[in-house]
Amino acid sequence: MTSEPETPDTRPCILILDADVIVRHLIAEYLRTCGYRVAEAASAEEALSILSHADVPIDTVLMDMQAPGTTNGFALLRKIRETFPDVDVVPAGSAAKATEEAADLCEEGPHLARPYEPQMVLEEIKRLIARRDRAVAPEGIRS
């Protein structure tokens, strides 16, 4: 009996960094139902470990800027952008606090506010993936 070769799973993978297990699981399940692969982290260190050692490459990180860890959210955001330049990062948190602290780091300030609106999360992730797909499409070919 021969078995069919397994088709690689090419769906985008989203890493959710949020210390609140209920919020993290809810948004993870929502994204899974939308067809994404999802990894979850509760701290900055766990997120960096997943990014460094994931069997599946991470495409986008949705991160709570107040997530716990030995580094603050803005330092973590900078580290992810420098170490993993192909990974999109969606910073989330209190819009007022994030705007105030992130003016020099984030080009557009915070992208999402907590509590998350699932549809807004989905739209932001789709926008980032579409932007990446356009950037890597061969010259003259647009999907």
Query: Across residues 80-108, what is the average pLDDT?
Result: 68
Residue 73: pLDDT over 50: yes
Backbone angles phi, psi at 94, to 5 degrees: -65, 120
Q: What is the mean pLDDT of the chain?
A: 79
pLDDT at 106: 42
pLDDT at 108: 46
Query: Across residues 54-65, what is the average pLDDT?
Result: 89
Structure confidence at residue 138 as a pLDDT band (50, 70, 90): low
CA angle 22, 88, 41 (to 5 degrees): 30
Do 87 and 115 form a contact (C-beta atoms < 8 A)? no
DSSP lists the bridge partners of residue 41 as 17
Query: Across residues 53-76, what is the average pLDDT?
Result: 87
Do 80 and 106 form a contact (C-beta atoms < 8 A)? no
d(CA 60, CA 8): 19
Query: Across residues 30-52, what is the average pLDDT?
Result: 93
Query: Across residues 13-30, what is the average pLDDT?
Result: 90
Q: Looking at residue 116, what DSSP letter applies? A: P
d(CA 62, CA 97): 17
pLDDT at 137: 63
Three-state DSSP class for residue 130? helix
